[in-house]
Chain A
């Protein structure tokens, strides 16, 4: 992150902030989309978070901590906006059932659907830890610091999230493959 850009934006430079937005928005949007599992809601959250970041920038003590600080505002915006999400939204995906040689693709899609359903059942705080750790690549200690929670809490949230996904994944694999009619091993 360009420290000078952050410093300038912090003093009210809107052009610098615009550059900052262009540099960070894809990352922030990606995080919000993964936590919320809803692109439209993620877009709303991103806008809310970016305006909040603009307002709060003068309060940022150290420019080099901008990224983590921005992630935190984004995650809080996710928490605030998630209740508006459309519950029970169907996952619609076109399956390539007309080609037997695409069984692996089908398996991939089925895996994704199982994981998707399981992830949507998770509380937001578990989702946030999972995404920040596995997608952003932050160590758990950094995730804990960013979210303002103890290390142990971050670890346990990640554990529960991973376990839920693993159970869903295993159960999905244990079902009959509709393409080949194979039975579980």
Chain B
């Protein structure tokens, strides 16, 4: 039998062998990636508040999104941006393009203006902008709108890929990826820790929609990166609930995969009446014919 001290000495010697100096190119790569990677922005509420209703977007594929070609940013009322009729308000003003943005998430929308989605987001829809909202087309799979200082409050998303376990996203997504409303809702309802309400039928923009409210565990402290992400989009953005957060999901059949509208379902602290504002946006949605 070997002496304990000898074993400990040998273990320490083995464990501490080798250099811990980080290769400089690894640091360079990280700092380069950080330049094009947005931080997740929680709502401006105290971190210690357990009932913190909001949705956090993770943009882990920022580099891919940057590569997407941009449409022009037009804001009503700015000189030179909108010609002619904009100076003469009409009951149904012509929609203007929603800002397409990547690393500038605070492209403020002009209140009362009707914006429409543009390329690369494929679904043509328009909505009335509330006061102070920001908006962006994140790529071909997502459009996000948000109240000031929030990551976003309302998302229009395509091709969601539910995770096997929202608490352990490193386990990957469900395969095959569900592509119908029923299959996506079934996948969500089977996720560990997810609480889903009974689906209800409603109407968005004159189209029939299926609505469920999703929530997760009250604490996500033991989850990977302390997050509870119920799905990801093809370019990597994820949707998260849990920790007191809930979201309303509206599924609208649109082509091969449904358009999903993800909406904060409560008023976050510091943004009173946000839920009512979100409802106003939902009520104002119009789909372009054939879009």
- A interface with B by C-beta (< 8 Å): 12, 14, 17-18, 21-22, 25-30, 33-34, 39, 43, 46-47, 50-52, 54-59, 61, 73, 76, 79-80, 108, 111-112, 115-116, 131, 134-135, 148, 165-166, 169-170, 173
Contact B22 A25 (CB under 8 A): yes
Question: Within the complex, what minimum Cβ distance (angstroms) separates A130 from chain B?
Answer: 8
A61-B17 contact, Cβ under 8 Å, with A43-B26, A46-B22: no
- Residue-wise, chain B 12-30 has the 8 Å CB interface mask toward A (1 for contact) of 1111111011110011011
Residues of B within 8 A of A21 (CB): 27, 30-31
Contact A55 B40 (CB under 8 A): yes
Which listed residue (B31, B35, B59, B226) contacts A59, Cβ 8 A? B226
Contact A55 B38 (CB under 8 A): yes
Question: Within the complex, what minimum Cβ distance (angstroms) separates B44 from chain A?
Answer: 10
Which listed residue (A61, A73, A166) contacts B7, Cβ 8 A? A166
| Interface flag for B34 (CB, 8 Å) | yes
Contact B30 A51 (CB under 8 A): yes
4 A-B pairs closest in CB distance: A30-B20, A80-B170, A148-B222, A61-B47
Measured in the bound complex, the distance between the Cα atoms of B58 and A169 in whole Å is 46
Contact A47 B29 (CB under 8 A): yes
Output the residue of A12, A27, A34 with the most chain B CB within 10 A: A34
Measured in the bound complex, the distance between the Cα atoms of B16 and A33 in whole Å is 11
Interface size range on B against A: 35 or more
Residues of B within 8 A of A108 (CB): 10, 13
| Interface flag for B191 (CB, 8 Å) | no
Which listed residue (A54, A56, A79) contacts B170, Cβ 8 A? A79
A61-B225 contact, Cβ under 8 Å, with A25-B26, A26-B21: no
Output the residue of B17, B34, B37, B60 with the most chain A CB within 10 A: B34
New contact pairs (17) apart from A25-B30, A43-B26, A169-B10, CB-CB < 8 Å: A25-B26, A26-B21, A30-B20, A43-B23, A47-B26, A47-B30, A50-B34, A51-B37, A54-B37, A55-B37, A55-B38, A59-B56, A108-B10, A112-B14, A116-B14, A148-B221, A148-B222
Residues of B within 8 A of A73 (CB): 225
- Residue-wise, chain B 167-181 has the 8 Å CB interface mask toward A (1 for contact) of 000100000000000
Measured in the bound complex, the distance between the Cα atoms of B13 and A138 in whole Å is 18
Contact B22 A26 (CB under 8 A): yes
Contact A61 B10 (CB under 8 A): no
Residues of B within 8 A of A47 (CB): 26, 29-30, 33
Output the residue of B1, B26, B30 with the most chain A CB within 10 A: B30
Please list 20 pairs of residues, one from A and one from B, whose beta carbons are closer than 8 Å in the complex, sorted by A's number: A12-B39, A17-B34, A21-B30, A21-B31, A22-B27, A26-B21, A29-B20, A29-B21, A43-B22, A43-B26, A46-B22, A51-B60, A54-B37, A76-B225, A111-B10, A115-B11, A134-B11, A134-B12, A170-B1, A173-B2
A57-B22 contact, Cβ under 8 Å, with A21-B27, A76-B170: no
Contact B40 A50 (CB under 8 A): no
Contact A111 B22 (CB under 8 A): no
Residues of B within 8 A of A12 (CB): 39
Residues of B within 8 A of A30 (CB): 20
Residues of A within 8 A of B27 (CB): 21-22, 25
Question: Within the complex, what minimum Cβ distance (angstroms) separates B8 from chain A?
Answer: 9
Measured in the bound complex, the distance between the Cα atoms of B34 and A22 in whole Å is 14
| Interface flag for B48 (CB, 8 Å) | yes
Measured in the bound complex, the distance between the Cα atoms of B21 and A72 in whole Å is 20
| Interface flag for B42 (CB, 8 Å) | yes
